[in-house]
Structure 1
Amino acid sequence: MSSLLLAKSIDERKLISVISLIGIAIGFYAFGYLFQYAIHLQYPPDAWMHTVYGFTNPRILNHAQNCLIPLLALLPMVSKDKLPLIQILSWIPLIVMYFFLFLSESRGITLSLLVSGIAGYFCFKEPMKQLIRIHGRALIVGLFLYVVLIWLIPYVLEHGFNGFRPLTDTLKTYDRLELWSTAWALTVQNPLFGVGPQQFILSTGKGPGSPHNMVFQWLSEWGVVATLCLITALLWGGISFLIGLRKRLDKKQLTQQATYVQISALWACCSAVLHAQISGVLITPMSQLMMVLVVGYCLHAHNKESVETGARVSDYSVVARTVSGLWVSLLILLSMSFFIIFYGEFIQGGYPISIPFEPMAPRFWQNGAFQLNWSL
């Protein structure tokens, strides 16, 4: 619903303005990180989670990088005609993101960006060449900074190589098959409505708070019906945008800037979806905010070009009003249900704010440890 509201107002210019603002914030964060690094030259393994300071878990930043990295490449492109200083500064956010990608050693984000980038190249060869050049240069500089700051300087100062995890730890990961098996077992036991939002962690004991796969998470927590609706909407929206973008490019309806923005937005969405198959991307608030922004823009770009005739506009308006009415009715119904369910537990003070065996449960939220078991 937030994406639908955003789709009415955002365009290429506004999206680039938002990304520029985010880029400025990343620049200040990078300065703060370097300040912290100048004080703490050694990052021992037991302090690894705090190397990307300000985040309880580096994966929270990784999940947002799915959308940030493709979009931040737009800043060097739109600053070509600006002052030389602005041109140099426009590269900093993208370089910083690649630096933190190496620092956090995220295999999932690297793989998802690479696969979606290759797919994008086969669909849009000429525009993607320029984008890949920018990403390649930023990646090389980010890798150089990582080697110097995290490997070389600590080694010269005789701190060893404690700035990064050993190779054996890097290759280790959660046993996804076990998590997916647990999620599937919950789905079989509760096929229609699932076990309830954020309840997967209660079935795994002390451990990961999600199945690390968005489809299995929807199946186990929301049920088969909701999952089919979500997957249908996801595929329909993605394929429609891809076909529409191809048509707009073939008819030369887009400016060069709009072309790069729309391709980068599609790259961001594909990367997030791919990463969500092996990690908890969709349950992280920071990545959710980025996806609302990117999906909202994609809806705006698609609807703007798809509405061609007055009759079609009229038909679209009727459909839009009908869908809006259904959304409002559903929202009212869910709000009433929420109030009824939680009145005794939340308002009267009996609502648990955490799970005893997991202080961060549900993994990225303060509240949510309620149990609605729809066993059939």
Structure 2
Amino acid sequence: MIASFRLESGYWAVIGLLLLMPITVPYLYGHDWQRLVQVVIAVISLIAIIIQRKTSVEGAPKAFDSVGILFAVLLCLALSSCLLADQPYWAFCEVSLMIGCYTIAYCVAHSRLQVGRSIDNFLIAVVLISCCAKTLQFIVSVLAGYTSSAQTLDLDLLLEGFSNRRFYGQFQTLTLPLLAWPLILSDVKRPVIKWIFVLLVCWWVIAIVGGTRGTWLGMAVAAIFVGCLGKAGRRWALWQLGAMLSGLGLYYIVFVLMTDAVGISLVNTAGGRLTTSLSARDIIWHQAWEMIKARPLLGFGPMHFSNIPNPIAAHPHQIFLQWASEWGIPSTLLVGFLMLRGMRSVLWKIRADRASDDPLNLLRICLFASLVGSLTQGMVDGVIVMPYSQLWLAIVTGWLMGIHRISSDHRPSNGRLRQLGLAAAFLAVGFLGYVTVHDFPTLRLRNEQYAHDFGGNFQPRFWMQGVIASKPQ
């Protein structure tokens, strides 16, 4: 037991550091470094699972086995799609990435089952530290903008750590719901509540400056959904509403009244992004739809939307269109079924305990809101494509899986399914490691080659330059 605790402590210490580095260390900013961190965490998670495989027999959640056959069918469909794809190498890379994300989720869930609520406190601490660090960076950037001799302030320059402000917004959609957990607990001291609320308001200000419409949509749907789940859900929604309104007021003071007073003009304001246009999504959605009609059963192959160059993006910015066009309609239906089954199970548990103020139930509400918001944003944005968003989606999903079960759900896991799953994870994570080691040192040359062959801006997918087509088509 002591050895197990030491392993979990070491694992989480490394994971916490890795989660912070790519968004707080300037040299590590950007899509490619975040992908590298994601692969490293997948490798560490696999090692932790292998070391703890003996305790996994007694500690696996029931849900892991009950859907094992469906996951096996999903994997068979994926492999068939890869074999028929134009570029099987990248297709297998995408499948390996999905398995790697599941490996991370499984490891988080298993750790939560083995160690208990200390994992909750640790992950919330990582969220708080991450948000505090980014908030401090934002404040320093604002002060630098006001004290410089320039007469303009580019709001894009205030959002550091991500290749695109939309990727920042995806991270905020995942973390905004979690920041409210201390606020709805009954035993938190008032000074702590005040400081957490200040942080939540500042996080909303950054979301407003970013102007990511998917964040607004995701949080609105999450607030409506969770607000209907009892007293605790309404408290969560009211805290978010209060923080959002306070954030709007603070934004107006800092970026309207004060800038007018000192004669600074703003560039790339949030208002310029809050429009009702599709921002060319209709073009990539049409491309995905044409791909679905052309190959409905197995799709063009995982990641193969980026094998058909277009001037806009290497993915459709829509979860189901992406999955159906690349993996096929049967796989999409199966993924949708698994997703709905899991969300329904959590929803029933929340409704059954809606009168409870137990911290675990309140945390379940926050995690559920995080997933609802992110999945909603995924209907119009690349939440399941960007590495840092994928990483936190895996963590939040595994976290929720780990706290969701009750004691009656415990049973010995199917040994054969565990062995097959471990083998698949080993092959997938190993392949991800190979792709990363092979590609990362030469990414600059690859980017230059892309610029020579295609021109235009980079389109992120696995790497920041995500188009996998070898030549213009």
Shorter-chain TM-score tier: 0.7 to 0.9
TM-score relative to the length of structure 2 = 0.66
Q: For residue 363 of structure 1, report the CA deviation from its aligned partner.
A: 4.3
Counterpart amino acid of residue 373 in structure 2: S
Q: Is this contact kept in 1: 2:306–2:467, CA < 8 A?
A: no
* Residue 111 (1) aligns with residue 217 (2): yes
1:353 alignment counterpart:
446
Q: Is this contact kept in 2: 1:353–1:369, CA < 8 A?
A: no
Question: Following TM superposition, where does structure 1 have runs of at least 4 consecutive aligned residues deviating by more than 6 angstroms?
Answer: 335-340, 349-352
Q: For residue 275 of structure 1, report the CA deviation from its aligned partner.
A: 1.0
**Aligned partner (choices 229, 237, 250) of residue 334 of structure 2:** 229
Q: Is this contact kept in 2: 1:65–1:109, CA < 8 A?
A: yes
1:36 alignment counterpart:
141
Distance 1:168 1:56, change over 3 A: closer
The 5 Å alignment of 1:182-331 reads: 182-247=287-352, 249=353, 255-307=357-409, 313=410, 316-319=411-414, 321-331=415-425
Q: For residue 365 of structure 1, report the CA deviation from its aligned partner.
A: 2.1
**Aligned partner (choices 141, 151, 157) of residue 50 of structure 1:** 157
Counterpart amino acid of residue 107 in structure 1: R
1:310 alignment counterpart:
none
User: How many angstroms apart in 1 are the aligned matches of 2:462 and 2:257?
Assistant: 34
**Aligned partner (choices 235, 244, 247) of residue 130 of structure 1:** 235
For the residue of structure 2 that corresponds to 1:194, the secondary structure is coil
**Aligned partner (choices 227, 235, 238) of residue 121 of structure 1:** 227
**Aligned partner (choices 170, 177, 182) of residue 75 of structure 1:** 182
Q: For residue 83 of structure 1, report the CA deviation from its aligned partner.
A: 6.8
Q: For residue 2 of structure 1, report the CA deviation from its aligned partner.
A: 1.5
1:365 alignment counterpart:
463
Counterpart amino acid of residue 412 in structure 2: S
Q: For residue 216 of structure 1, report the CA deviation from its aligned partner.
A: 0.7
* Residue 23 (1) aligns with residue 121 (2): no
Distance 1:93 1:368, change over 3 A: same
User: How many angstroms apart in 2 are the aligned matches of 1:81 and 1:292?
Assistant: 28
Counterpart amino acid of residue 463 in structure 2: W
Distance 1:338 1:54, change over 3 A: closer
2:253 alignment counterpart:
148
Partner deviation per Cα, 1:60-95 (whole Å, 9 max, x = no partner): 1111122201110013344854372x3332223311
Q: Is this contact kept in 2: 1:150–1:163, CA < 8 A?
A: no
**Aligned partner (choices 89, 99, 103) of residue 205 of structure 2:** 99
User: How many angstroms apart in 2 are the aligned matches of 1:288 and 1:303?
Assistant: 23
Q: Which piece of structure 1 moves more, 89-98 or 169-178?
A: 169-178
Q: Which runs of 5+ in 2 are unaligned?
A: 1-102
User: How many angstroms apart in 2 are the aligned matches of 1:33 and 1:350?
Assistant: 29
For the residue of structure 1 that corresponds to 2:446, the secondary structure is coil
Partner deviation per Cα, 1:177-204 (whole Å, 9 max, x = no partner): 3221110212233334433333323424
Q: Is this contact kept in 2: 1:112–1:274, CA < 8 A?
A: yes
Q: Which runs of 5+ in 1 are unaligned?
A: 308-312
User: How many angstroms apart in 2 are the aligned matches of 1:8 and 1:323?
Assistant: 16
For the residue of structure 2 that corresponds to 1:265, the secondary structure is helix
Q: Is this contact kept in 1: 2:371–2:397, CA < 8 A?
A: yes
Distance 1:220 1:353, change over 3 A: farther
Q: Is this contact kept in 2: 1:176–1:211, CA < 8 A?
A: yes
Distance 1:257 1:290, change over 3 A: same
TM-score relative to the length of structure 1 = 0.82
1:8 alignment counterpart:
110
Partner deviation per Cα, 1:37-74 (whole Å, 9 max, x = no partner): 112137958x4532312322111111112220111001
User: How many angstroms apart in 2 are the aligned matches of 1:39 and 1:212?
Assistant: 34
Counterpart amino acid of residue 458 in structure 2: M
User: How many angstroms apart in 2 are the aligned matches of 1:368 and 1:158?
Assistant: 41
User: How many angstroms apart in 2 are the aligned matches of 1:336 and 1:95?
Assistant: 42
